[in-house]
A and B are shown apart, each in its own frame.
Chain A
Amino acid sequence: MKKKSVLELLLGEWNTKTIVAIALGAALFGVLMNYGGITVFTNVKLTTAFLVPVVVGALFGPIPAALAAGLGNVIADTIGGWGYWWDWSIGNAVLGLLVGCLPLYGADIAKGIFKTKHAIIYVVIAVVGNALAFGLITPIFTQLFYGGELVVTFLQANAATLSNIAVLVIGGLPVLYALAARNASAQNLTKK
């Protein structure tokens, strides 16, 4: 099999399967945002929805993961009926893009390749990506769209960052390991 270029890995393969995966990812994201959350603080929920872009990214690439997270948040806003929060949708898309980067550093969940090295990189990216997406990008857009006091916006964003890191690390690793083990069992033939 020929090695794929970074751009190909970033875009993922745009076939019908990817489109369906993004759609189902966005739907899962919407459902989990509405029903699978644990409220911590006014705007902030400890939601397991953020694991969905990780899985989409692991199987289909970062751009599909970003679309699943961004569209998923818009869909969650639509079925929840609490109005649209575009600033958070943009932040989610950025986070989806970053945590969906698994194929870029060699983890291949579809073939069952997920080692300790990949787990460490994943955790680092989860922490940095959250800090970037909700610590920087979301507050900037909140300020741009709705105005407000920057300190409070940052504080709320930081609460979201911490809860998301908790979900992504505590939840993401078991999910990735489980998924990799599940796929590996289907691919355990060795070449003689």
Chain B
Amino acid sequence: MSRRFVINLVQGETYLQKLNGTTKLGLFLIVMVYTMMSFDLRLLLPLFILSWIGLASLKPNYKLILGLFGFIFFMNFVNIILYYAVNQDVGSSYLNGTRTVLIQFNSYWYLTIETLWYLSVRQFKMMTSFMISMVFILSITPGELASGMSGLKIPYKISTITSLAFRYIPEIFNDYETIKMSMQARGLELDKRRLNVFKRLKENLMILIPLIFTSFDRIGNIANALDLRGFGQGKSRTYYCEDPVTSRDKLFRGITILLIIFCISFMVYQNVNHFGMWFPFKI
């Protein structure tokens, strides 16, 4: 295969990878809620540091991670510049409406401390969210994801959808490459310098139509194979990759429950008291 995927297909040997699938998925989901609910640097900073520690413990391919990190940073940075260009007081509406002008470039362009603070925190929040996703993706395998989902009481037909989808991604990818090559051999032009966007869309469709046909032709075979093995007969099912629950799983499940309690109380508290963001430079 010409490109490796970020997600691992075989379980690794590090501490986080050895956890039970249900533990990993539950912890990831609640940490995601934690990131989304908070616009507070005091809450985000510890998580950001912890996610780097978690990433380091997974012994990743740093070249790939840093490349992706830079790409995501740049994309969010462009967003932030756009936010600033459209509304230079964007921070004030989140920070109790105060306005402290830091630099006045001319009558239209100015920079307030509130906007600078708000946009930096937002960038930080997006990067934290990216880091958590990265740690999760690198620590889990598709099989564990499916068993974790069914461990969280999601109907096993839905978890089967995810594990089946991951199973067929490499095959569909190979089909895609084969169809692309055979179409190019028949004279399909895919060079981005020679064609405008709509021509390229049309050429891409020439690959897509056979790809959809071949993929959907498989459905009957796979469904028959599953039916023959008795899929969908029982009310529940078990998974090969279900690890036994160890003491470290209990530790992380305890942390997850504490985080759930914290997130719920934080959201209730925030909605009752209507406080703005934490802002240390208040004058």
Q: Does B75 sit at the interface, judged by CB under 8 A?
A: yes
A19 and B176 in contact, given A75-B169, A79-B169 (Cβ under 8 angstroms): no
Residues of A within 8 A of B169 (CB): 27, 30-31, 75, 79
Q: When chains A and B are docked, how far (Å) is the Cα of A80 from the Cα of B67?
A: 12
Q: Are A175 and B208 in contact (CB under 8 A)?
A: yes
Which residues 160-194 in B have Cβ within 8 Å of A in the complex?
A: 160-162, 164-166, 168-169, 172-173, 176, 192
| Chain B: minimal CB distance from A175 (Å) | 6
* Minimum CB–CB distance for A39 against chain B, Å: 10
The segment from A81-89, A119-127, A131-139 that touches chain B is: A81-89
Q: Which residues of A contact B87 (CB under 8 A)?
A: 149, 151
Interface SS of B by simple majority = helix
Query: Which of A80, A147, A155: most chain B Cβ within 10 A?
Result: A147
Set of chain B residues within 8 Å of A72, measured between Cβ atoms = 165
B209 close to A174 (CB less than 8 A):
yes
With beta carbons under 8 angstroms apart, the residue of A48, A79, A144 that contacts B201 is: A48
Check if A21 is an interface residue, CB within 8 A of chain B.
yes
> CA–CA, A182 to B210, complex, Å?
12
B201 contacts A38, CB within 8 Å?
yes
- CB B175 to nearest CB in A, in angstroms, measures 9
Closest A residue to B126 by beta carbon equals A146
Q: Size of chain A's interface in residues, with CB distance under 8 A?
A: 60
Any B CB within 8 A of the CB of A99: no
* Among A28, A48, A78, A152, contact of B79 (Cβ-Cβ < 8 Å): A152
In the bound complex, CA of A112 to CA of B75 (Å)? 44
Query: How far apart are the CA atoms of A15 and B219 in the complex, in Å?
Result: 12
Q: Decide yes or no whether A107 CB sits under 8 A from chain B.
A: no
Size class of the contact patch on chain B: 35 or more
Question: Is the Cβ of B161 less than 8 Å from the Cβ of A26?
Answer: yes
The CA of A21 and the CA of B129, in the complex, are separated in Å by: 31
Nearest CB of B to A109, in Å: 11
Contact of B205 among A30, A52, A175 (CB under 8 A): A175
A55 to B205, CA, bound (A): 14
**From residue 85 to 121 of chain B, which have CB atoms closer than 8 A to chain A?**
86-87, 90, 94
- What's the nearest-Cβ distance from chain A to residue B60, in Å? 10
Cα separation A31 to B170 with both chains bound (whole Å) = 9
Q: Mark B112-147, 1 if CB is under 8 A from A, else 0.
A: 000000000010011001101110010000000000
Q: Name A71's contact: one of B125, B162, B201 (CB within 8 Å).
A: B162
Contact A42:B79 (CB < 8 A) given known A28-B215, A30-B169, A178-B209: yes
Do B201 and A67 touch (CB < 8 A)?
no
Q: Which residues of A contact B197 (CB under 8 A)?
A: 38, 40, 46
The answer to whether A17 touches B165 (Cβ under 8 A) is: no
* Residue contact A79 to B162, C-beta cutoff 8 Å: no
Q: Does A59 contact B (CB under 8 A)?
A: yes
**Contact B216–A21 (Cβ < 8 Å):** yes
Could you tell me the distance in whole angstroms from the C-beta of A63 to the nearest C-beta in chain B?
Answer: 12
Q: A148-B83, A170-B201 are in contact. Are A67 and B90 (CB under 8 A)?
A: no
Specify which chain B residues have a CB less than 8 angstroms from the CB of A171 in the assembled complex: 201, 205, 208
Please, what's the 1-or-0 string for B226-240, where 1 marks a CB less than 8 Å from any CB in chain A?
110001100000000
Q: Which residues of A contact B82 (CB under 8 A)?
A: 149, 152, 155
Binding site for A on B (CB under 8 A): 5-7, 32, 36, 39, 64, 68, 71-72, 75, 78-79, 82-83, 86-87, 90, 94, 122, 125-126, 129-130, 132-134, 137, 157-158, 160-162, 164-166, 168-169, 172-173, 176, 192, 197-198, 200-202, 204-205, 207-209, 211-213, 215-216, 218-220, 222-223, 226-227, 231-232
Which of A's residues lie within 8 Å of B, judged by CB?
Answer: 14-17, 19-24, 26-28, 30-32, 35-36, 38, 40, 42-43, 46, 48, 51-52, 55, 59, 67, 71-72, 75, 77-84, 86, 144-149, 151-152, 155-156, 166-167, 170-171, 174-175, 178-179, 182
